[in-house]
């Protein structure tokens, strides 16, 4: 990455790759997923800029071929072939991205024009479509074959002329898909290592980055054909200073931490560095690292968006060369309240498992603790299960450890409600309704919790059956017994029979008697 032969733009892309890889090691929080989305937007924007520049370069080559055919006719033809191959492979990658997004069932927001980055944390579609066990699926192999074909076709166009060797070496490095040695020493397939198990937004970003490799390859080849090379060393005047904050937002009063670097890593030590109007001591330990990155530390100020201003000063051609530093960061308030929500309702129900999500704004889940009677952690980060038993309310206390080691606390009280009384049913109907006599005789009495958000199956254990003019019959179980059937047969057509005092049980809490059923006999 510190190779002086790489262009400023390629160094910038390499830096973005480094940041991308570092992010993969982090917990896939919404902020990280959004960062992938931002990275994808930047790659997309860069691809557009490079694409437009490539079109101008190609047009310039064609014009030169007309003016000086003996010098540029062959180069123009080669450039035209490279453009055709690159455009085809670029569109192939675009279609792959579209399939990945569609397969994950994600859609672009019509208002913002962006994908839902924060919800694109799954990668099931790629895992299922590109892999079969430890091998590539047909679709996965097709992807690898497309890369191999692009490489073969480009090298065939470029040929074996020695003046193109460096360009081919860089091209090979960009599209190196050889097996990769993992951290445990085992070899992994290239596609497995880079895409398997990753969030969809990460895979989409990687595909966009590969499209960027296509565009930069095209640019490099055009310049080689013009007799130049984007891989040669260039003047520092063409570099851009980039501020890399350790995080995108900071709590009020917290110390900013980050780095400011040039658009490409180079062992070029500045003669002077000024940030936020303050001169930085370049002789201090750690002020400039081996890659030329300068460490930044200053108080971030009040809540809101802030600018990072300054300048690098280098010595070039015996004269001072100033490169401005321009960046920004956002300061957010320190959290003083937690986000506590019942996933299905605003109250918790006694005796059942109430799923909850508990978090503290800006604090990772592993630094948040919640406690309450009947509360336990769920299987996923930030999730909990509440099973209240007694009382009318329950209070959840939450504490969070902030980056500076300080604590933030909050609490919230929930009402505890009993399971509502179910309704009696027979033949799928409840309340008052008509049924044929035979349907009542063979029907099964059920108890249902209507408009209740929890899946809590109930089993009817008994009820009472009443026919007009006859004493009520007590029934055990969920169907009419012999005495109840005899009473039913004596009832007149149009008579209303009742099923009441319907008792049921659940796998957990005690259930109240169900609402009665009134049935008018239709025959």
In whole angstroms, give the CA distance from residue 516 to residue 76.
88
In this structure, the answer to whether residues 511 and 381 fall within a common structural domain is: no
Would residue 45 count as lying in a domain?
yes
Would residue 120 count as lying in a domain?
yes
Total count of residues recorded for the chain: 523
The CA-atom distances, in angstroms, between 448 and each of 444, 457, 458, 500, 516 are 13, 8, 7, 14, 12
Structural domain for 461, as ranges: 423-521
**Residue ranges of E strands in 335-406:** 338-342, 348-349, 354-360, 368-371, 375-377, 383-386, 393-401
SS3 203: helix
* Cβ neighbours, 10 Å, residue 383: 15
Decide if 439 contacts 521 (C-beta within 8 A).
no
Would residue 2 count as lying in a domain?
no
CA atoms within 13 A on the CB side of 435: 23
Give the domain-ending residue among 332, 349, 373: 332
Give the domain-ending residue among 279, 298, 332: 332
CA 415 from chain centre, in angstroms, equals 34
SS3 35: helix
Would residue 1 count as lying in a domain?
no
Question: What is the pTM (predicted TM-score) of this model?
Answer: 0.41
Decide if 364 contacts 372 (C-beta within 8 A).
no
In this structure, the answer to whether residues 27 and 156 fall within a common structural domain is: yes
In this structure, the answer to whether residues 373 and 485 fall within a common structural domain is: no
SS3 496: strand
In this structure, the answer to whether residues 513 and 444 fall within a common structural domain is: yes
515: which DSSP letter? B
SS3 374: coil
In this structure, the answer to whether residues 200 and 82 fall within a common structural domain is: yes
How many domains is the chain built from?
Answer: 4
Would residue 323 count as lying in a domain?
yes
In this structure, the answer to whether residues 355 and 430 fall within a common structural domain is: no
In whole angstroms, give the CA distance from residue 445 to residue 463.
9
CA 514 from chain centre, in angstroms, equals 45
In whole angstroms, give the CA distance from residue 219 to residue 83.
9
Q: Are strands 348-349 and 407-417 parallel, antiparallel or unpaired?
A: parallel
In whole angstroms, give the CA distance from residue 270 to residue 280.
11
Give the domain-ending residue among 313, 332, 351: 332
Alpha helices per DSSP H over 175-227: 190-195, 200-225
SS3 123: coil
In this structure, the answer to whether residues 74 and 191 fall within a common structural domain is: yes
| Mean pLDDT of successive 10-residue stretches along the chain, which has 523 residues | 57 63 54 80 87 87 82 85 92 92 86 83 87 88 93 88 77 88 79 87 89 90 68 46 66 71 62 81 75 75 74 69 78 66 75 86 83 91 89 91 82 89 92 92 91 86 93 93 91 92 88 92 88
Q: List Cβ neighbours of 99 (8 Å cut-off, separation of 6 or more).
A: none
In this structure, the answer to whether residues 226 and 248 fall within a common structural domain is: no
In this structure, the answer to whether residues 412 and 471 fall within a common structural domain is: no
Would residue 3 count as lying in a domain?
no
Would residue 243 count as lying in a domain?
yes
pLDDT the model gives residue 239: 60
CATH code where residue 459 lies? 2.60.40
In this structure, the answer to whether residues 51 and 178 fall within a common structural domain is: yes
Measured in Å, how far apart are the chain's first and last C-alpha atoms? Answer: 88
In whole angstroms, give the CA distance from residue 348 to residue 344.
9
In whole angstroms, give the CA distance from residue 202 to residue 123.
9
Alpha carbon dihedral 39, 40, 45, 50, in 10-degree steps, equals 100
In this structure, the answer to whether residues 456 and 396 fall within a common structural domain is: no
160: which DSSP letter? S
Decide if 439 contacts 371 (C-beta within 8 A).
no
In whole angstroms, give the CA distance from residue 12 to residue 295.
18
In this structure, the answer to whether residues 223 and 251 fall within a common structural domain is: no
Let me know if 442 is exposed, middle or buried by CB neighbors in 10 A (0-12, 13-18, 19+). Answer: exposed
CATH code where residue 356 lies? 2.60.40.10
Would residue 113 count as lying in a domain?
yes
Decide if 257 contacts 297 (C-beta within 8 A).
yes
SS3 250: strand
List beta partners, residue 425: 446
| CB under 8 A, 24+ apart: contacts of 40-49 | 40/201, 40/204, 40/205, 40/208, 41/114, 42/16, 43/13, 43/16, 43/205, 43/208, 43/209, 43/211, 43/212, 44/208, 46/9, 46/12, 46/13, 46/212, 46/215, 47/208, 47/211, 47/212, 47/215
Decide if 446 contacts 515 (C-beta within 8 A).
no
429: which DSSP letter? B
Decide if 101 contacts 114 (C-beta within 8 A).
no
In whole angstroms, give the CA distance from residue 84 to residue 88.
6
């Amino acid at each position: 990455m510190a190779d002086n032969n790489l262009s400023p733009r390629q160094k910038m892309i390499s830096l973005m790759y480094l940041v991308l890889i570092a992010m993969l090691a982090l917990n896939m929080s919404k902020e990280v997923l959004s960062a992938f989305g931002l990275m994808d937007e930047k790659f997309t924007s860069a691809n557009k800029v490079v694409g437009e520049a490539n079109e101008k370069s190609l047009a310039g080559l064609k014009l030169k071929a007309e003016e000086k055919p003996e010098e540029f006719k062959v180069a123009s033809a080669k450039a035209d072939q490279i453009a055709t191959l690159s455009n085809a492979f670029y569109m192939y990658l675009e279609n792959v991205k579209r399939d990945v997004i569609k397969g994950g069932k994600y859609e672009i927001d019509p208002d913002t024009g962006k994908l839902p980055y924060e919800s694109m944390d799954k990668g099931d579609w790629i895992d299922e479509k590109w892999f079969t066990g430890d091998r590539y699926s047909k679709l996965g192999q097709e992807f690898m074959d497309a890369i191999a074909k692009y490489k073969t076709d480009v090298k065939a166009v470029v040929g074996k002329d020695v003046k193109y060797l460096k360009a081919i070496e860089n091209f090979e490095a960009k599209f190196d898909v050889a097996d990769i040695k993992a951290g445990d020493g085992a070899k992994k397939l290239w596609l497995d290592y880079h895409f398997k198990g990753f969030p969809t937004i990460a895979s989409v970003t990687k595909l966009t980055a590969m499209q960027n490799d296509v565009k930069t390859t095209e640019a490099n080849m055009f310049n080689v054909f013009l007799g130049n090379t984007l891989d040669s060393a260039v003047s520092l005047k063409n570099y851009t200073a980039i501020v890399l904050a350790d995080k995108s937002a900071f709590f009020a009063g917290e110390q900013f931490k980050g780095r400011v670097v040039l658009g490409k890593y180079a062992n070029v030590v500045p003669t002077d560095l000024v940030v936020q109007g303050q001169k930085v001591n370049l002789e201090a330990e750690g002020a400039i690292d081996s890659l030329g990155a300068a460490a930044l530390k200053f108080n971030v100020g009040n809540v809101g968006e802030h600018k990072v201003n300054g300048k690098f000063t280098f010595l070039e051609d015996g004269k001072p060369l100033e490169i401005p530093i321009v960046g920004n960061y956002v300061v957010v308030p320190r959290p003083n309240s937690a986000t506590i929500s019942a996933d299905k309702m605003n109250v918790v129900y006694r005796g059942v498992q109430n799923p909850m999500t508990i978090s503290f704004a800006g604090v990772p889940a592993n630094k948040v603790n919640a406690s309450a009677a009947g509360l336990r952690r769920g299987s996923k980060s930030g999730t909990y299960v509440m099973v209240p038993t007694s009382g009318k309310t329950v209070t959840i206390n939450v504490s969070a450890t902030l980056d500076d080691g300080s604590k933030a606390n909050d609490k919230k009280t929930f009402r505890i409600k009993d399971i509502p009384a179910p309704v009696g049913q027979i033949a799928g109907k409840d309340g008052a309704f008509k049924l044929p006599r035979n349907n009542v005789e063979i029907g099964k009495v059920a108890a249902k919790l209507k408009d209740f958000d929890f899946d809590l199956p109930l089993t009817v254990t008994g009820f009472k059956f009443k026919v007009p003019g006859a004493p009520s019959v007590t029934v055990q179980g969920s169907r009419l017994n012999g005495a109840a059937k005899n009473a039913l047969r004596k009832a007149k057509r149009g008579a209303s029979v009742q099923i009441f005092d319907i008792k049921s049980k659940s796998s957990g809490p005690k259930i109240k008697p169900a609402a009665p059923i009134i049935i008018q006999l239709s025959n």
